[in-house]
Amino acid sequence: MLVLTRSINQSVIIGDNLIVKVLSIRGNQVRLGFEAPKDVSIYRNEIWERIHTGQIGEKERKIIDVANSQGNAEEDSVAGAEKADTEAEGEL
């Protein structure tokens, strides 16, 4: 594992088309910004695991992918997926 130290507003470039920038640091939380092509999906680890274990269905996955492609923060797309989970449960 490569370990780097970055300060606020500093970036790391991965490959030719992924930029990760440190936006802010508050206590033990770090806010990161990601710049990537629209065809690159970016997920928090716990969301990725839910997708790959089938805990997030296709409907919720589409909500997350649409939010990501529109450049919204992942927190917004996760909230949308959780809302879709709740709505899907109501349909059962």
Same domain, 89 and 68: yes
- Using alpha carbons, select from 65, 75, 11 the residue that is nearest to residue 38: 65
Structural domain count, the chain: 2
Distance (Å, rounded) from C-alpha 42 to C-alpha 82? 17
pLDDT at 86: 45
Phi, psi (rounded to 5 degrees) for 30: -120, 125
pTM (2 decimals)? 0.61
Q: Is 34 exposed, middle or buried (0-12, 13-18, 19+ CB in 10 A)?
A: middle
Same domain, 47 and 91: yes
pLDDT at 69: 67
- Express as a percent the part of the chain with pLDDT over 70: 70
Same domain, 55 and 79: yes
pLDDT at 30: 94
Question: Does residue 72 carry a pLDDT above 60?
Answer: no
| Residue 74, amino acid | E
At 15, is the secondary structure helix, strand, or coil?
coil
Domain of 17, in residue numbers: 1-40
Predicted confidence band at 71 (pLDDT cuts at 50, 70, 90)?
A: low
Neighbours of 89 (CB within 10 A): 8
pLDDT digits 0-9 by tens, 36-64: 998 888 888 988 888 888 887 777 777 77
Same domain, 87 and 61: yes
